[in-house]
Amino acid sequence: MIKKVLIANRGEIAVRIIRACREMGIETVAVYSEADKEALHAKLADEAVCIGPASSSESYLSMDRIISATIITGADAIHPGFGFLSENSKFAELCEQCNITFIGPDSKVIAKLGNKQEARNTMVSAGVPVIPGSTEAIYDSRTGAQAAQEIGYPVIVKAALGGGGKGMRVANTPEEFEHSFQTAQKETQMAFGDNTMYIEHFVQRPRHIEFQILADKYGNVVHLGERDCSIQRNHQKMIEESPSAALSEELRKKMGEAAVKAAKAAGYQNAGTIEFLLEKNGNFYFMEMNTRIQVEHPVTEWVTGIDLIKEQIRIASGRKLPFTQEDIKLNGHAIECRINAENPAKGFRPSPGTITDMYLPGGKGIRVDSAIYSGYTIPPYYDSMVAKLIVWAKNRREAVQKMQSALGEVIIEGIDTNVDYQYEILNRPDYLSGDIDIEFIAENEEALREALQ
């Protein structure tokens, strides 16, 4: 069993991991940058090592310094948290070479799943559905129309060298195809000096549904149900919940099985997440696999009763999973709101600064994972997420009410936060009814702004 863990991260996730370790009787080592001297994780851990200046590249991303801190403090494992080095296969490999247990999957698996094409190929051969697309480069609209027919409308025409939305056009019907293709190709030629096109099924207004899985070293893989993370702003998740209002028991089973298949195909170990896009008609497609613990893991913990961080440590220590798929039951409904130090009225500009006063809600079914305290100064160098508010109730309606109630109690003085913005999201009729997709924020932006004034 692991005896001492170095947490190669900061903020609330570092605090979360320290707490799990402490409960397990495992000693903890925090690492911190010069800007994080007063950070909660550095104070809370049994030992703390300063690993460099404020800039992440010289501290939380500095592999050699983190490895050195591990060796010096005699820790036998590193928990990478999320972000920073958590999905860096080279870092995982370094840990392996130094006999340090990396709490996460094998470095080779991280590398494989981190490569978009390789990950897609792995899924295709495992029979996990991926977004159908043309297999060869397409140069003319006739060949393109044929491919589109096989793929199924609506389709999106993309530049092979694409990026930034340039050279992208949607065609909803065969009639529209010719025009869309020509326009996209012309744009592509202009932007990239190339006319190689690629056609893919266009997933319309999907939900972001992800499945949490746990896999031990003995080939046992279970999924812990889904999380609906459709409430996103610029691809940044804001609110996550479990279970999703969109999944029937049957669909959950189907997607869960696909997730388990995906994890097995990748040779996965430890906790991971398979992200899918879910269409209104119930079709779902593999997007990517995250090879780390995720921000929104608490909602899964609450509906399954499983402590994911502790399971990660147990799996890394070589323990067998203590449950099977049949043991996993989703109970009630959990919602998480990310609380960020940012100003929604000013384009969500980060708002670092000193928290002069603070009050956080509590009570039955309310959990706060945070790294802030009264008098704490949020440094400007890192992510603006400073806390997560998670609630649980026996159904979605009650959970939303509880979240609203809890958000209404949050007081954080001295900095700007998105708490009121979150409160208004929960007030939107579409949110209440559960009819959400990834366009939700974009579509409700105006209404939210008005509600805030």
Partner 1 sequence: MKLDNVFKKTRLSSGRKGYISLSSARPEVPEGLLRKCNKCGSAIIAEDVKNDHYICPKCGGYFRVHAYRRIEMVTDAGTFEEWDTGLATPNPLEYKGYEEKLGALRAKTGLDEAVVTGKAQIDGMEVVIGVCDGRFLMASMGEVVGEKIARAVERASKERLPVILFACSGGARMQEGIISLMQMAKTSAALKRHSDAGLLYISVLTDPTTGGVTASFAMLGDVILAEPKALIGFAGPRVIEQTIGQKLPKGFQRSEFLLEHGFIDGIVERPQMKETLAQILMLHKQGNIEAEHSDDRDDADGNTGEARDQNEGFGKLSVNNQLASGWDRVQLSRMNDRPVGSDYIRELFTDFIEFHGDRYFADDKAVIGGIALFRGMPVTVIAQAKGTNTRENIERNFGMPSPDGYRKALRLMKQAEKFHRPVICFVDTPGAFCGLEAEERGQGEAIARNIYEMSGLRVPVLSVIIGEGGSGGALAMATADEVWMLENSIYSILSPEGFATILWKDSSKAKEAADVMRLTAEDLYRMGIVEEVLAEPSPYTIENLKEVTRVLESKLERFLSRYGKMSCDELTQRRYDRFRKL
Q: Which residues are catalytic?
A: 292
Nearer to partner 1, 189 or 317 (CB): 317
Least Å distance between CB 378 and partner 1? 14
Helix (H) or strand (E) holding 186: helix 174-192
Instruction: Show Cβ contacts of residue 152 under 8 Å, excluding neighbours closer than 6 positions.
Output: 132, 201
CA distance 316 to 77: 9
CA distance 131 to 116: 13
Least Å distance between CB 353 and partner 1? 16
Which runs of consecutive H residues, i.e. helices, occur in 25-154?
A: 40-44, 63-73, 89-97, 107-114, 116-126, 141-151
Based on the number of CB atoms within 10 Å of its own CB, is 63 exposed (0-12), middle (13-18) or buried (19 or more)? Answer: middle
Least Å distance between CB 237 and partner 1? 30
Residues that bind partner 1 (CB under 8 A): 3, 21-22, 25-28, 38, 40, 43-44, 46, 63-65, 67-68, 70-71, 74-76, 94, 97-100, 373-376
- CA-atom Rg of the chain in angstroms: 23
Nearer to partner 1, 359 or 373 (CB): 373
Least Å distance between CB 90 and partner 1? 8
Least Å distance between CB 57 and partner 1? 10
Least Å distance between CB 24 and partner 1? 9
What number of residues does the chain have?
Answer: 453
Q: In 3D, which of 229, 130, 211, 165 has the Cα closest to residue 438?
A: 229
Nearer to partner 1, 24 or 251 (CB): 24
Least Å distance between CB 374 and partner 1? 5
Nearer to partner 1, 43 or 233 (CB): 43
Q: In 3D, which of 100, 126, 96, 94 has the Cα closest to residue 113?
A: 126
In terms of phi and psi (left: phi > 0; alpha: psi -120 to 50; beta: otherwise), the region of 267 is: left
Asked if residue 129 has a cis previous peptide bond (ω within 30° of 0), the answer is no
Six-digit token pair at 65?
């310094």
Asked if residue 380 has a cis previous peptide bond (ω within 30° of 0), the answer is no
CA distance 26 to 33: 23
Nearer to partner 1, 139 or 373 (CB): 373
Q: Would strands 101-102 and 77-79 be described as parallel, antiparallel, or unpaired?
A: parallel
Nearer to partner 1, 68 or 189 (CB): 68
Based on the number of CB atoms within 10 Å of its own CB, is 372 exposed (0-12), middle (13-18) or buried (19 or more)? Answer: buried
Nearer to partner 1, 41 or 112 (CB): 41
